[in-house]
Chain A
Amino acid sequence: MLQILASRGDLVLLRDSVEWEGRSLLKALIREVALKGEQVQVLGCEVSEEVFREGLDSDTNSRLVYHDVFRDPQGWTGNWGPLGILRACLRGAEPGPCTLAVDSLSWLLLHAPCSALCQTLRALGHDNSHPGRVRVLGLLHEDVHGPGPLGALRSLAQIEVTVGGNLGFTTAQVFHPKPRHRSIEQTYWFSILPNFSLEFHKETLLEPRPHRGPQSPTVDAMADLTFNVHLSKKEREARDTLALPFHFSSEKQQSLLHPALASSTSQIFYEPDADDYLDQEDPDDDLDI
Chain B
Amino acid sequence: MESQQGEGGTELDSQSSIWVNTGGNKMAALTTGFGRARQGGAGDPREYKAETAAGGDKLGGGGGGGDRGCSFLRKVSVPGSGGGGGGGGGARLRSIAGTRPSVQNGQLLVSAGLPALDQLLGGGLAVGTLLLIEEDKYNIYSSLIFKYFLAEGIVCGHTLLVASAKEDPGDILQELPEPLHDDNYKKVLDEGRSHKSQEEPEISMKIAWRYQNLPQMEAGPGTSSRFGHYYDVSKRMSQEVIQSAKWHKFFLPEEITSYANVESCALNHGYTKLLHFIQRVISEQGFDGSNPQKKQKNILRIGIQSLGSPLWGDDICCADTPEHMHSLTRFLYVLRGLLRMSLSACIITVPSHLIQNKAVTSRIRNLSDTVVGLESFIGSEKEANSLYKDYHGLIHIHQIPRLNSLICDVSDTKDLAFKLQRKVFTIEEIKTSNSQSPIFSHGYHIALCSLCGPLNKFIKRIFVF
Contact = CB atoms under 8 A, between A and B. Distances in A.
Interface of A: 83, 113-120, 122-123, 146-149, 151-152, 155-156, 175, 177-181, 183, 185, 210-213, 215-222, 229-230, 244
Interface in B391-438: 392, 420, 432, 434
A111 to B, nearest CB: 14
Secondary structure call for the B interface: loop
Contacts of A156: 310-311
A120 B310 CA distance: 10
Nearest to A240: B206
B379 A211 contact: yes
Contact of A219 (B165, B206, B354, B385): B385
B354 A151 contact: yes
Nearest to B323: A113
B392 A181 contact: yes
A210 B383 contact: yes
Contacts of A175: 379
27 contacts: A117-B310, A118-B318, A119-B310, A120-B259, A123-B253, A146-B320, A148-B318, A148-B356, A149-B318, A151-B317, A151-B354, A152-B309, A152-B317, A152-B318, A155-B137, A177-B138, A177-B140, A177-B378, A178-B140, A179-B140, A179-B141, A183-B378, A210-B383, A216-B381, A218-B384, A220-B386, A230-B434
Nearest to B319: A148
Given A119-B311, A152-B310, A155-B139, A180 B354 contact: no
The 7 closest A-B pairs by CB, nearest first: A114-B318, A118-B310, A115-B310, A177-B138, A152-B318, A211-B379, A179-B140
B379 A177 contact: yes
Given A115-B314, A185-B379, A221-B385, 4 more contacts: A113-B315, A118-B310, A178-B140, A221-B386
Most buried by A among B166, B318, B356, B380: B318
Nearest to B313: A115
Most buried by A among B310, B312, B387: B310
A180 B426 CA distance: 12
Contacts of B384: 210, 215-219
Contact of A115 (B207, B315, B378, B380): B315
B354 A148 contact: yes
B351 interface: yes
B381 A115 contact: no
B181 to A, nearest CB: 25
A211 B381 CA distance: 8
Contact of B354 (A120, A152, A179, A230): A152
B326 interface: no
Contacts of B379: 175, 177, 183, 185, 210-212
Nearest to B139: A155
B315 A114 contact: yes
Contacts of A149: 318-319
Most buried by A among B165, B319, B353, B356: B319
B386 A218 contact: yes
Given A115-B315, A181-B392, A212-B381, A221 B387 contact: yes
Interface in B120-172: 137-141, 144, 165-166
A179 B137 CA distance: 11
Nearest to A231: B434
Interface in B99-118: none
B432 A155 contact: no
B314 A119 contact: no
Most buried by A among B144, B253, B378: B378
B319 A122 contact: no
A122 B315 CA distance: 16
B386 A155 contact: no
Interface string B206-244: 110000000000000000000000000000000000000
A179 B378 CA distance: 8
Nearest to A145: B318
A155 B138 contact: yes
B353 A151 contact: yes
Contacts of A155: 137-139, 309, 351, 354
A152 B259 CA distance: 19
Contact of B207 (A122, A146, A219, A244): A244
Nearest to B206: A244
Nearest to A239: B206
A178 B420 CA distance: 12
Contact of B317 (A148, A216, A230): A148
Interface string B349-371: 00101101000000000000000
B375 to A, nearest CB: 14
B248 to A, nearest CB: 21
A83 B318 CA distance: 17
A230 B320 CA distance: 49
